[in-house]
Amino acid sequence: MKRAAAVLPALALVFGLAGCAQPTTGGGGTAAGGVQLIESGHLTTCTHMDYKPFQFHDQGKIVGFDVDLVDLIARDLGVQQKIVDTPFEGIQSGEDLNTRRCDVAAAAMSITDVREQNFDFSDPYFDATQALLTKKGSGLNSLQALRGKKLGVQLSTTGETYANENKAANGYEVVQFEDLPLSVTAVQTGQIDAAINDNSVLGDFIKNNPEVEITTEFTTGDQYGIGVATGNEALRNAVNQSLKKMKENGEYDAIYQKWFGKLPE
């Protein structure tokens, strides 16, 4: 059985700020500045859990850096955020945005040329790069060291793209996983030899899992952006204005320190 088929299919769950299930459909509404929303009173966000510390479940609630960030954007629009947990493929393909399943997509998502063909991005709000997670002491500290071994990737991510671009030159097998928790658990259990993903999420994971470590990082220049449907300039401008405002008034630094324990560099 292919590893990707062994994972549980992600359920499209809808959560409000309190983490309670809510319907996704509504009659549409208008927010501050005349921004049109798919549901009155709410800025509906598509994301994919669990991707700690950006969006994850904690004691029945959905919390994280991206959640706090979009809460501030929703506040500036005079509405509340509502979160839809959906497979990442539908987010990065633009399907969820362009079919009005959600107003914005905030999923620690890197801005790429391919994704920009599917939907529009906000200004960048977070810098990232790729990192390699292995069992501690494995000695697997480069892609070359993975020859003949199994490298886990999260489906439809820039980590998967990077792994595939370098597969032939380094002779490893790429193994797909539906989400981050499945891939890092596979490293812990020895199903795979290493996993590649963004440095921030792997850095958070190793804090409470001392049996694994990050052995190297790959400078990729990833920058996260918030997605909006193609051509929705009113909403994209509103998002950009909120990002600019929170960086100027210190709110961005506050939530960054809250989730990463330090100020942004």
Which pLDDT belongs to residue 6? Answer: 30
CB 43 within 8 A of CB 104: yes
Mean pLDDT value across residues 173-183: 95
- Residue 201 in contact with residue 51, Cβ under 8 Å? yes
Under 8 Å between Cβ of 246 and 74: no
List 43's β-bridge partners, or say none. 81
Predicted TM-score of the model (pTM): 0.82
* Arithmetic mean of pLDDT, 237-265: 96
Q: Is residue 24 predicted with pLDDT exceeding 80?
A: no
**pLDDT above 60: residue 207:** yes
Instruction: Tell me how far apart the alpha carbons of residues 44 and 250 are, in angstroms, rounded to a whole number.
Output: 25
Instruction: Label residue 42 by pLDDT band (50, 70, 90).
Output: very high
Q: How far apart are CA 97 and CA 102, in angstroms?
A: 6
Burial class (CB within 10 angstroms; exposed 0-12, middle 13-18, buried 19+) of 6:
exposed
Residue 27's pLDDT is: 62
pLDDT digits (tens, 9 = 90+) for 228-239: 999 999 999 999
One-letter amino acid identity for 132?
L
Task: Note the pLDDT tens digit of each residue in 111-150.
Answer: 999 999 999 999 999 999 999 999 999 999 999 999 999 9
Report the candidate in 74, 107, 79, 63 with the shortest Cα–Cα distance to residue 224.
Answer: 107
CB 129 within 8 A of CB 241: no
Task: Dump the DSSP string for 155-192.
Answer: TTSHHHHHHHHTHHHHT-EEEEESSHHHHHHHHHHTSS
Read off the pLDDT of each residue in 14-43 and give the average, rounded to a whole number. Answer: 67
- pLDDT averaged over the chain? 89
CA 39 → CA 23, 27, 30, 218, 260, distances in Å? 10, 6, 8, 40, 32
Q: Does residue 99 contact residue 194 with C-beta atoms inside 8 Å?
A: no
